[in-house]
């Protein structure tokens, strides 16, 4: 197996702005076609490791062999698969953000291993990288990069999951140079074999992150949780009973909430990079089965409802892939400017990880829900066989279900998207355009209409609900869903426009058109629902519908020939036996 080599990166003087896509700011969009040779080498190394070492061990992994999982993580470390995000200065490979996304994509089909990998490389490692001192990084990052040290992220508690800052764990400083930690962390991944835990606790200055070694006095662990899925991961409670942690193991006091939120931003994005790989794997299995399986004398792939499932699975995969690598390219522009050993490193890491929080939340909801829908549809396509444990779909269905809960429940994330936009408008970081009428003409493509509709929805919701908007979660969800559809559609269309003429572009354009049908249906439903939620009487309901009508009417005109497009996309998948852009 080839060990990954460091990837060269270039700086950009033009920084991405989170949320700027709402304003139509779409320059310099990164796509999967832009992956460099070094990035692709990283992906191929991950694919080969999954194919040769991880997938053959799936039965043992699913039986909960943590000894095997630990050994696989050590092997991954030897190949450089744990070192992508860690700078060369601290023993890592310093690969690009697209390369890291590609690694996550390629290892996803064995989701227990993928989650173990993500918990170590992202949420356990990045708080230290972003907010640790030079001495802390020098001590721990080389081992985390090589796999000699396995990391774990300990934030959630029994009474504080998505509401992480409601934590009860406390850390009290003693004059002997120790912090004493008391509390209990729940749902902690990698607990059976982790060597280093990033633990969050309250101090006199707020939330602080601590680097807690496994053998520190007062640290113990609960039993393995009995979970619906992710059977190969270790998930236990971390129990802190007068746990003694040296003061030098504390990250900057009072800034732990920043460390947690920045790591979770990247974690949400990286999980959905993985979902891209999972969807491709499901689509490949379904497309091939649709040709092989016959009922009533012909392959099931000749039936319209099966074709609809295949086409929509391919379209969502295309949109998600386009979103993931667009975000990866923008993250790379930001992170490539950080000098890891400079005095400004923590501030620059913080800005880079926080800037695209809106987009990371968007892709989290879109990717996790697409994966959920089409893991279920994969079972349906395979019928009785899909319901058995002999095929991989039952495991995929169980495992992916966590993604709508983990690293922020989707209900909370939908509200957070609106909250982030409102806060950035208030802070002057986003300047939304003045209200204006819709312009007629062919230049009004689906993405721009969706974007302008969501701006109108946001304005009307603010006008009706005022400061109470965030308390009306149903309204926030309507706004978020159209915003997510707008970003997905815009990402898909921009990718098509960037492609060179040829068969690949034709296939991509077809998938973007199929995705447009879903985006439009979402927008029409949410606009009607938001009007009903905000209206106090029938007059206001009529007025709100009139505001949204020019956009919904224009969007409805793009719904032509859905059957022709979906059938063509499905046939393409079956002919190729895979995702059409593999």
**Which pLDDT value is given to residue 558?**
79
CB atoms within 10 A of CB 210: 26
User: At which residue do the structure tokens 């982790």 appear?
Assistant: 194
Beta carbons within 8 Å of 74's beta carbon, 6+ residues apart = 147, 148
CB atoms within 10 A of CB 435: 10
**Which pLDDT value is given to residue 6?**
39
Query: DSSP string spanning 126-173?
Result: HHHHHH--HHHHHHHHHHHHHTSS-EEEE--BTTBSSSGGG---EEEE
* CA angle (281, 287, 293) in 5-degree steps: 125
Is the pLDDT higher at 561 or at 425?
425
> Is the separation of the CB atoms in 127 and 262 below 8 Å?
yes
Closest by CA to 123, choosing from 181, 227, 199, is: 199
**Which pLDDT value is given to residue 166?**
84
> Is the separation of the CB atoms in 202 and 131 below 8 Å?
no
Residue 7 has pLDDT above 70, yes or no: no
Residue 432 exposure: Cα atoms within 13 Å on the Cβ side: 21
> Is the separation of the CB atoms in 395 and 363 below 8 Å?
no
Contacts by 433-441 with C-beta closer than 8 Å and gap 24+?
433/23, 435/459, 437/550, 438/550, 438/551, 438/554
> Is the separation of the CB atoms in 370 and 275 below 8 Å?
yes
pLDDT digits (tens, 9 = 90+) for 495-528: 999 999 999 999 999 999 999 999 999 999 999 9
Range 535-561 average pLDDT: 90
Give the residue ranges of DSSP H helices in 215-255. Answer: none
**Which pLDDT value is given to residue 440?**
46
pLDDT digits (tens, 9 = 90+) for 129-144: 999 999 999 999 999 9
Report residue 561 as tokens.
Answer: 């020939």
pLDDT digits (tens, 9 = 90+) for 402-426: 999 999 999 999 999 999 999 999 9
Catalytic residues: 407
pLDDT digits (tens, 9 = 90+) for 243-270: 999 999 999 999 999 999 999 999 999 9
Distance of alpha carbon 187 from alpha carbon 190, whole angstroms: 10
**Which pLDDT value is given to residue 284?**
98
**Which pLDDT value is given to residue 5?**
44
Task: State the average pLDDT for the chain.
Answer: 94
**Which pLDDT value is given to residue 27?**
66
> Is the separation of the CB atoms in 218 and 181 below 8 Å?
yes
- Beta strand extents in 341-452 (DSSP E only): none
Instruction: Identify the H or E element spanning 208.
Output: strand 206-213
Distance of alpha carbon 166 from alpha carbon 163, whole angstroms: 6
**Which pLDDT value is given to residue 9?**
43
Residue 13 has pLDDT above 70, yes or no: no
pTM of the model: 0.96
pLDDT digits (tens, 9 = 90+) for 34-68: 999 999 999 999 999 999 999 999 999 999 999 99
Residue 438 has pLDDT above 70, yes or no: no
Instruction: Check residue 122 and report its DSSP letter.
Output: I
Residue 192 has pLDDT above 50, yes or no: yes
pLDDT range class, residue 161, cuts 50, 70, 90:
low
Q: What SS3 string covers 261-286?
A: HHHHHHHHHHHHHHHHHHHHHHHHHH
Distance of alpha carbon 450 from alpha carbon 378, whole angstroms: 29
Write down all domains in the chain, each with its CATH number in brackets: 1-431 (1.20.140.10), 433-576 (1.20.140.10)
**Which pLDDT value is given to residue 175?**
87
* Residues paired with residue 200 on neighbouring β-strands, in sequence order: 209
> Is the separation of the CB atoms in 148 and 139 below 8 Å?
no
């Amino acid at each position: 197996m080839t060990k990954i080599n460091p990837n060269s990166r270039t700086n950009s003087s033009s920084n991405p702005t989170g949320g700027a896509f709402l304003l139509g700011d779409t320059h310099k969009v990164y796509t999967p076609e832009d992956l460099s040779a070094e990035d692709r080498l990283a992906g191929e190394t991950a694919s080969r490791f999954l194919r040769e070492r991880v997938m053959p061990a799936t039965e043992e992994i699913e039986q909960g062999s943590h000894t095997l999982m630990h050994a696989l993580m050590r092997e991954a470390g030897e190949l450089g698969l744990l070192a992508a995000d860690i700078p060369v200065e601290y023993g890592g490979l310093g690969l690009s953000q697209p390369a890291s996304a590609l690694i996550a994509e390629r290892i996803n089909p064995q989701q227990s291993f993928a989650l173990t990998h993500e918990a170590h490389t992202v949420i356990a490692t990045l708080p230290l990288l972003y907010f640790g001192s030079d001495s802390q990084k020098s001590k721990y990052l080389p081992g985390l990069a090589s796999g000699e040290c396995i990391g774990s992220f300990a934030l959630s508690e029994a009474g504080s999951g998505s509401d992480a800052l409601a934590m009860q764990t406390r850390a009290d400083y003693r004059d002997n140079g120790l912090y004493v930690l008391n509390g209990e962390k729940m749902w902690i991944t990698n607990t059976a074999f982790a060597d280093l835990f990033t633990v969050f606790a309250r101090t006199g200055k707020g939330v602080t992150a601590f680097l807690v070694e496994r053998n520190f006095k007062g640290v113990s662990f609960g039993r393995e949780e009995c979970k619906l899925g992710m059977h190969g991961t270790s998930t236990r409670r971390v129990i802190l009973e007068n746990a003694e942690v040296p003061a030098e193991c504390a990250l900057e006091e009072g800034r732990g909430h920043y460390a947690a939120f920045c790591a979770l931003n990247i974690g949400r994005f990286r999980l959905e990079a993985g979902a891209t790989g999972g969807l491709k794997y499901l689509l490949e299995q379904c497309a091939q089965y649709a040709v092989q399986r016959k009922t009533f004398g012909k392959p099931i792939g000749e039936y319209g409802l099966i074709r609809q499932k295949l086409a929509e699975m391919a379209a969502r995969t295309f949109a998600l892939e386009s979103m993931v690598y667009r975000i990866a390219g923008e993250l790379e522009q930001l992170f490539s400017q950080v000098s890891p050993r400079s005095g400004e490193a923590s501030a620059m890491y913080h800005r880079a990880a926080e800037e695209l929080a809106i987009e990371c939340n968007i892709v989290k909801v879109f990717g996790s829900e697409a994966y959920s829908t089409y893991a279920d549809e994969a079972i349906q396509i395979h019928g009785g066989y899909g319901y058995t444990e002999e095929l991989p779909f039952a495991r995929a269905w169980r495992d992916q279900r966590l993604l709508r809960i983990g690293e922020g429940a989707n209900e909370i994330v939908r509200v957070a998207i609106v909250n982030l936009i409102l806060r950035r408008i208030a802070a002057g970081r986003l300047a939304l355009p003045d209200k204006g009428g819709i312009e007629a003409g062919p230049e009004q493509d689906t993405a721009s209409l969706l974007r302008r509709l969501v701006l109108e929805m946001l304005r009307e919701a603010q006008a009706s609900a005022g400061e109470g908007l965030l308390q009306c979660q149903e309204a926030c969800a309507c706004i978020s869903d159209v915003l997510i559809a707008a970003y997905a559609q815009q990402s898909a269309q921009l990718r098509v426009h960037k492609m060179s003429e040829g068969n690949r572009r034709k296939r991509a354009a077809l998938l973007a058109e199929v995705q447009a049908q879903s985006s439009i249906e979402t927008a029409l439903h949410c606009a009607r629902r938001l009007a009903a939620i905000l209206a106090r009487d029938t007059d206001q309901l009529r007025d709100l519908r009139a505001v949204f009508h020019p956009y919904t009417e224009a969007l409805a005109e793009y719904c032509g020939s859905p059957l022709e497009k979906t059938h063509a996309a499905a046939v393409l998948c079956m002919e190729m036996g895979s995702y059409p852009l593999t």
